[in-house]
Each structure stands twice: as structure tokens, then as C-alpha cells.
Chain A
Amino acid sequence: MAEPVVRLRDLTFTYDPDVVALQDLYLDLHPGDILAVFGANGAGKSTLCYLLSGIIPNIYGGTRMGEVRVFGEDPWEHPIHHSARNRAIVLQDPETQLFMPTLEMELAFGPANFGVPREEIRERLGWALKTVGLGGLDRRNPKALSGGQKQRAALASALTILPGLLILDEPTSQLDPLGSTEVLEALKEVVAGRDLTTVITTHKVSEMEGLANQALVLHRGRVALQGTLEEVISQVDRLEEVGVQAPPLRQFFHLVLPGPESNSSDLEGAAGRVRELVDGGRLEVVAPVGTARRAPARPAAPLLQVEEVTYAYPGNPPVTALRDVSLKVAESEFLAILGQNGSGKTTLVKCMVGLLKPRQGRIVFRGEPIARMSVGQIATRIGMVLQNPDYQLFSVSSEAEIRFGLDNLGLDPREAGERTGEALRLLGLEEHRGVFPFRLSFGDRRKLAVAATVAMGPQVLILDEPTTAQDYRGRYLLADIARDLREREGRTIIMISHDMDLVARYAERVVLMLDGRIILDGPPEEVFDQVEVLARTYLKPPDPALLGRMLDDLGVPRGTLTPEQLASIFRPGTGVA
């Protein structure tokens, strides 16, 4: 067999001074191989990408032991512009990868650096844009593209180098479901029928089905699982142990029939398999219709009311983001707002906290319009945690960070001290009291942003996209905290999210937005049952809900939103071997 494109032998890499990022790694990749790399944050996925692309050792330094060969060359022996001739990397954040004023210039940047003739660059440019589905947009400013388009543009700009090795570091982690789908479709088009070796890191295991043929699971720098994709993702328990979430349908099968069986993750296959198991007597449906539904939420007094609000961003012409929106949020409710980017979700919550002032309509908190409240008054009633915590941290220590808001409220030092201590305790940050916030991990920075908001005592807590760029466990961190606050202190939670699984597990009411309007409002079981309406917003109910619908005729009730709920409908039958 020809020499592999990537060959790692007993590789250990340590960032200076002593942070071990990868340990005892062996890997061979041949032309056409597509490797999916899974692992929690800090598992070593990005380090592997940097090693293969030459970013390590050329930009980030460290100590290596063992062998690294990419196209037969050791990255330690060549400058990065040499490595860049045959490999390309697409990073997580599309914003920082697109630095040119037009797509044409962006895509030409790589080949132009290598002196590729002008006509050939134009040919590559046209091909790459067409391949990723951005044909005809070559004069467009990349900053004006949607999230999915930006990441596809980053992919196209990697392709114009004509790499033999394509490395993608969490290419969908910051995208909404539509953007993720666009990028994955483009990627399938890119790899189809080519001898392009590809390495993709991701937290979303189910995205790799039908794309990758090999998989590697890293845990604290070491290999936890390695093999074909099928071999790896069928290890549901082991994946769970190392903080990687198996696809929901795999979880379902694992719950109803634990064991090393190979089960389909696609809906059609899964439905067929369940029927086969039921027909063979290995599974029985036990729950009568309707048992999966949650008890209806108790009626409660409206706390926050949005009354016929219309908002338009200034411009020529103005961009209307909210159109006559009305919404009542009750005391102690856990509400999720769904919708694609640009549907008006963030504009709506920004109006709720007074960051935007609607021209028409009003927002009322306990009967009082928030337009009449000061910034401080709003902050003590409605708190909001932004998507990126780094914009919300301004102080020299975690303690000072929480005190920042309390001092702005003019609280006396004793009370401010007590509230600070309580918030640190509530979020488990006591040991980081004196630490500079930017030295905390991403997860802890998010917790600190919540602590600083909660300390101000708002009755309503708004979380904007709490799962962005988070691994499996990190995704649930803020939602768990929010649920605790609701259950223990009766606070109202409003959560904006694209994560259907998260919404299915936590929310008791779901609002769906499209083009600045609310188009669905109800319990998650009802909203997720409106498959056609959701499809208009490019959203898809969780897989267990769809599988439940497909198994209607077996007596499976509607509204089974999580693998656990769906599994509770079945029990092993007498036909179990």
C-alpha cells in the first residue's frame, strides 16, 4: 500500500511548559479517508488539527515526542507556507477566517500567495464557489453572508489551494441548524468521488453519519475509541463516559435493548428495526396512548407581557425584525424561543431587557412598562446572559465581576458582599473567587456571567444560545443551572436555542418565530408535532419525536421527545434471546 497521507506513531505533544495535549497517538490516513474526531472540550481535537496543518510548531510551540508525517514530511522541518501548499484548515469561527472584502479576493488569497497564474485562480474560484453552493456570489462581501454561507466560503477558500488533506476544526459548532446542514451538504459534495483525505472534529456525532468512514474519540489527549465510524458510535456507554453524546436513536436502542447490537441511526432504518423487534416479540409496547405527554403547566399570573411590538433596525431601507409580536410569559415558566438566525428571537429579548426600544407596542413587567424604567431597574427585574461570555466580563477577579453590577445598583457593601458570596456558591465558583475572569475555562466564564446576572436578583433570566461552541456536557450546564433557579427560587427562564434536544429536555413551553412573527406557541409536545410548520423554519423535531410519529400504528403515543421518553414506551418482550 502507498505511504499514508497522515502517519502518527506514538505521538505525544505537550504545550509549554507542561500541558499534555495529546498522548500515545497512532493514526494512519490514506487518500480518500474521512476521519471524524470526537471528544469533549480540552480532549485534544484542535491540537491534532494544528499538528496536521503545520500551525504547530510554526505558530504554537511545544514539545513533541514520537513521529508525525504528513505527505511523508515532518512539520517540524518546514515552514507553514510550505505545508500550506498541500493541506488546508477550516476553523471554528467563520468570522476570523474571512478577512478580505470580497469572496473573490478571499478565495484567491491562498493560490495567489503561491503565484498560481491568474486564469487558473479564476477557474479554481468558480469551481470552489459552485461546489459549496455559492456560485455567483464572488463579488459579495463575506461579512454580509449568513453564518452557514460564511463557513461554506471558508471551505471554498480552503479548496482553492487544491489540498490533498482537508482539516476542519468544529466547522458547524457556531452555526444554526440551517447553516450546519448547508455546510455538511457542501462538504459531502466536496469529498464525493475525490481522493481528498479529510479530518473533521465535532461534538455532533450524528452529523458524521453518511460522511466519515473512520472515527477517533479523544479523552484528555488519549485515544478512548478508534475504528470505523460504526464501530465507534455503537459504543454508547463508552462515549457517554468520555463526554460524547451518541446519536439519539442509538441511545434509544441502547436503552431498550442494551448490548453490542448494530442499530440504524437513520429514521427509516430505525423504524424498520423497531417493527422487526416488535414482530419478533423482542420488544413490547407498554404505554397506552397519551402517557408520554407531560402534565399541562399550571396556570400562573403573567409576569412579562409583550404587547403588539414592532421593531425595525434603521437602514436604507429599514429592516423590520419584529412584526406585531404579542407574548405573555407567566411567573416561574421555562420558555424556549426557537427560530432560524434572523427570525427575530434576539431582537425580541433585546426589547424585553430595554437594549432596543420598539417604535410600536410595549413591554410590560408586572403591569409596569419597561420603557419607563431605568437601566438599573430593568437589570433587577430581567437579566440576560449573552451568547459569548467574554463580552460580559469586565473586572479583575470573579468576585469583582459579580460586585460590578451590584455596585452599579448602589447596594451597601455588606449586602453586595453577601449576594456575591451567594452567587459564587450557587454557581460553584467559590474557589475561583480571586481569579482573573479571562483565565477561567470557557464553561466557567459562562457560569461567571450567569452568577453576575443572577446576583442582581432578576425575576426573569434570559439565556441567549447557551449551547453555542459547547461540548455535550457543557451544553446542559447553563440549562441545568436555570432549571435549578426556577425550581428552587421560582424564577422565570427564557431560553433562545437551536438545540432541539436541549429544548425537548428542559422547556415547558416553546415559541417558534419566523420572519419577525410568532408562528407557533405551546407545549414542546405540541410544537414538535407540527413537523411541516417546523420545516418552514428549517427546524426538525428531535429524532425520537419523529420516530414516535412513524410508529403511531404500534400504539406509540405522540410527544416522545427524548430517547428516555421513547424507550419508556417499550419493554423487552418474551422473545428476548
Chain B
Amino acid sequence: MRTVFHYIERDTFVHRLHPMVKLLHILLTLGLIVVPYWPTLRDLAALLVWLGLNAVLGTVARLSLRQFGFLAKILLGTFLFILLTQGFMYRGETPLIILGHLAIGGGVDLVITREGLFFGIILCMRMLTAVSALPLFVSTTPVSSIMAVLTSLRLPPTFSFMFVSALSFTSMIFEMWSTILDAQRLRAFDIESMNVFRRLSRAYVPVLTPLVLMLFRKGNDLQIALEAKGFGAPGPRTQLEVLRFTWRDGLAAAGLVGVFVLCLWIKYA
């Protein structure tokens, strides 16, 4: 999880792109998945084109799939859930798999329809498209550049700092979580060997108690460290990093918009 939200230092075309171009990529990705859609092959094709673009950008940025193993695990579970629920719930006409009949009320057929399954696939693809865009921004852009671009968008420094702190706290939470689990094993409490229900009923409260209390303490220390360095002082704040938009960035932005228009054409033409 940590590597998903961490900058990975490399010298690639994607890393060198102006963060504004990468923000544009995220906005276009969101745009593509929120525009009205129908579960058609055209819609699927448009998503595949954009996913292909993300795969190319990921390859150019030399991001390996292994880095996203944790995220992939979560997504796989979610996708399975979506495919099953949509398969059963979507009011389709073409039965694909008939599992049986439940004599509840007037009777319910347990049928996975082709339309339901396809709708589920489209939903999963949209989710995957959205999720795949985030590491392309976070893993290829130094936080200093992210802060600089957020500031250039005239967002208040507090907002930029909240973003940076969130990244820092994410890794801290994972380290603390792991230490607490170790401490519990030392007291014969093995959360990892428990099933989901036992974890929910018995395991998480003892983990969360020290975690939450220590996070409050760390948050308090962070406040002291920030304010003792003049955070919130009146007057303009100096931006250390100066970002320059080059012709390459312009071309990349135009290319992104071009692929976006292509996807819209595939969807609606």
C-alpha cells in the first residue's frame, strides 16, 4: 500500500512531465468515467483505449505491477463482488447461468444474466480506469512538485500541506499497525490466523485502541512542530520549486486530449 502512494524516483518522460499535465490526465480520466454511459461494447472499447493509454504511460514511467500488489488484492475482491451482485441483480433478459430457484415470496430465480455480467464488467473497468490513473500521478511526481502545482492553482497552503501530511500519515499508520500486530502475537493473539468474522468481533478493537491514541499523540506533536516553525504566519509564503511548462508538456497535454476525444467518439459516434 505504501508504494502505491509514494513517489518512485526515476528519470523518465512521465516523471519529467509538468504536474499540471498529469493533473489533466486525472481530470480527463474522471471525465471519461462520469460521462453518461450504457453497457455497450462501444463503452467498453472506450474504456479499454484509455486503460491502454494508462498501461503505456505506466510502462514508460517504469512502474511495475508488483508495486500495486496490495491494491490489486483489494480490487480483485471488489470486482468479484460487483460481478456477482450485478450478475444476479441486473434485470437482464439472457440467462447465462441458472443456479436454482428460491421459494421466497412468489419465488425467485437465481440466474446470472449475460446483460448483468456485462454491466458488472463495465463497472469494474470504470473502477480500474480510475484507480490506475492515481499512481501515474503520485508515483511519478515529487511531493515538492505536487505542492508547487497546488499552490500555482491558488489553493491555500493548508490544503497542500494536508495532502502531504496524508501521504506521510499513511505510511506511519502502516508501520504502527504492523508493530501493534507484533505486540499482540507476543501475547498469544494472532489476528492473521483469524477468519473475517472473528476479526470483526474480537480483533480490531485491541488494534485500534493503541493505534488511535498514538495517532492523536503524533498529530499533537506534528502540530507543535508545524506551528513552532511559523506555519500560518501572515504574508505570502515562498514557493521553493519553480515549475516550467515546456513545448513537450504542451504536446503531451494535446496528446491526452486527443485520446480523450477519440474515446468519446468511440462511445458516442
Residues of A within 8 A of B (CB): 53-55, 58-59, 80-82, 84-85, 88-89, 91, 93, 96-97, 99-102, 104-105, 108-118, 121-122, 143, 157, 161, 350, 353-355, 375-376, 379-380, 383-384, 386, 390-395, 404-405, 408-409, 438, 452-453, 456
Contact = CB atoms under 8 A, between A and B. Distances in A.
B186 A81 contact: no
A116 B164 CA distance: 22
B75 to A, nearest CB: 22
A394 B210 contact: yes
B179 interface: yes
- Choose among A99, A111, A115, A116 the residue with the greatest number of B CB atoms under 10 Å from its CB: A99
B188 A379 contact: yes
B214 A161 contact: no
Interface string B225-252: 1111111111111111010000000000
Given A85-B230, A111-B238, 18 more contacts: A54-B228, A55-B228, A84-B229, A84-B230, A91-B225, A99-B164, A99-B226, A101-B143, A101-B144, A101-B167, A105-B144, A112-B239, A113-B233, A392-B187, A393-B210, A394-B209, A453-B187, A456-B187
Contacts of A392: 183, 186-187, 210
Contacts of B210: 390-394
| Shortest beta-carbon contacts, A-B, top 8 | A394-B206, A405-B187, A96-B221, A113-B230, A81-B233, A408-B188, A101-B143, A376-B188
B199 interface: no
Contacts of A105: 143-144, 147, 240
B229 A161 contact: yes
A55 B237 CA distance: 22
A494 to B, nearest CB: 14
Given A91-B221, A105-B144, A112-B240, A408 B227 contact: no
A121 B143 contact: no
- Choose among A114, A452, A456 the residue with the greatest number of B CB atoms under 10 Å from its CB: A114
A386 B179 contact: yes
Contacts of B234: 81
Interface of B: 7, 142-144, 147, 164-165, 167-168, 171, 176, 179-180, 182-190, 193, 206-207, 209-210, 213-214, 218, 221-240, 242
28 contacts: A53-B228, A59-B224, A59-B227, A81-B232, A85-B230, A85-B233, A88-B229, A91-B221, A96-B218, A96-B221, A97-B225, A99-B225, A100-B164, A102-B142, A115-B236, A116-B238, A117-B238, A375-B189, A379-B185, A380-B188, A386-B179, A391-B182, A391-B214, A392-B210, A393-B209, A394-B184, A408-B189, A438-B213
Contacts of A59: 223-224, 227
Contact of A110 (B185, B209, B229): B229
A485 B17 CA distance: 63
Contacts of A383: 186
A313 to B, nearest CB: 12
Contact of A390 (B214, B226, B237): B214
Contacts of A104: 144, 240
Given A59-B224, A88-B228, A115 B235 contact: yes
- Choose among B168, B185, B237 the residue with the greatest number of A CB atoms under 10 Å from its CB: B185
Nearest to B208: A394
Given A379-B186, A409-B188, A108 B240 contact: yes
A82 B232 CA distance: 10
